[in-house]
Chains A and B, each alone.
Chain A
Amino acid sequence: GAVVSQHPSRVICKSGTSVKIECRSLDFQATTMFWYRQFPKQSLMLMATSNEGSKATYEQGVEKDKFLINHASLTLSTLTVTSAHPEDSSFYICSARGGRGRETQYFGPGTRLLVL
């Protein structure tokens, strides 16, 4: 299957700081990448859809000024959590669309964010 990486795998930061998470498709070009977050024992919630070279599309209730998404190339999308607060602590997962199948998304390993 296709490989998607995320960096960092976990980050601890102080409240008020910004954190950048990178998502890379390693062996295919991804015109579309998605960002999800998952709270403990809950399902994955889509935050935004990121298309290469255009602005991200955010889901209802997701603050676009707080969660900045940049999809600068066909293999890289970044999510920046600005002025992070403890309630932003979560597991953030990206996915990239590509490989076999029309709609198959391949997921990164996730980033655990803890805001103190």
Chain B
Amino acid sequence: DQQVKQNSPSLSVQEGRISILNCDYTNSMFDYFLWYKKYPAEGPTFLISISSIKDKNEDGRFTVFLNKSAKHLSLHIVPSQPGDSAVYFCAASATDSWGKLQFGAGTQVVVTP
């Protein structure tokens, strides 16, 4: 049962424009959310996280928005750069889960010149 869903398998965006990646979850016990970036044959790289007590967190070009009532979060990357081309995973954890992360299926982002 997929508790974290990324319904868009791929996204193409022009360099300089905004990339918006979406993620939905079903488990209301999740209270911490993370975004990771992954290149082929490499481990995921942590990008940004957000606690359920917040609805927005910003770090440089990356902003994560959390809508708890809709069980939805999104990652905004602006401006998009060619080096942002990668697979982006949304992950979630619950306080009582000892840090276990549930991952979405990932979204392949391609930034075109």
Contacts and interface: CB of A to CB of B under 8 A. Distances in A.
B43 A108 contact: yes
Main secondary structure of the interface of A (DSSP, over half): strand
Interface in B55-110: 89, 93, 98-106
Contact of B32 (A43, A103, A106): A103
B99 A109 contact: no
A1 B49 CA distance: 13
Nearest to B43: A107
A49 B46 contact: no
Contacts of A32: 98-99
Among A32, A101, A103, residue most surrounded by chain B Cβ atoms (within 10 Å) = A103
Interface size of B as a range: 20 to 34
A58 to B, nearest CB: 12
Given A42-B105, A49-B100, A102 B89 contact: no
Given A1-B46, A93-B43, A93-B44, A105 B103 contact: no
B34 A44 contact: no
Contact of B101 (A4, A34, A110): A34
Nearest to B94: A103
Contact of A107 (B44, B102, B105, B106): B44
Given A103-B34, A103-B93, A104-B49, A109 B42 contact: yes
A105 B43 contact: no
Interface string B21-63: 0000000000010101000011111100101000000000000
Given A43-B89, A102-B51, 7 more contacts: A34-B99, A44-B103, A93-B43, A103-B99, A104-B46, A104-B49, A107-B45
Interface of A: 1, 4, 6, 32, 34, 42-46, 49, 57, 91, 93, 95, 97, 101-110, 112
